[in-house]
A = this chain, B = another copy of it.
Amino acid sequence: MADKTQIVITSSKTVDEHVLEILSMFNQGVNEVELKGYGREINKLVDVYNQLKDKLGEGVKLENAQTGSEVREKRRISYLLIRLSKAY
C-alpha cells in the first residue's frame, strides 16, 4: 500500500510524540510520509527526522527536502518539507 501521508509538525506535540505517530504509521503499512514544518517548527521537523534515523537507521530514507515560503494569516512564513520513505 504505497500511500503518501502529510504530517504538519505542530508546537502542541513533542518531538517524541511526532516520532511515535510516524513509527505507528509505518507499522500500519504507510510507505511514504511527508513532514512539513513552518517557521519555528522547522528545526523540530529536523529533530523528528534525526530521531527517526536513530531508531530506524537504514530503515528510513530521506527522499527529498524542499524549502520555500507560503502566505498564512496574511503573513509570509518559511517552511521545510521533507519526504521520507520506509526502506524495508
Contact = CB atoms under 8 A, between A and B. Distances in A.
Q: SS class of chain A's interface: helix, strand, loop or mixed?
A: strand
Q: How many copies does the complex hold?
A: 2
Interface string A43-78: 100110110010000000010011111000000101
Given A39-B43, A42-B42, A78 B50 contact: yes
Contacts of A4: none
Interface residues of A, number: 22
Contact of A46 (B47, B53, B67): B67
Nearest to A82: B67
A68 B48 CA distance: 10
A67 B65 contact: yes
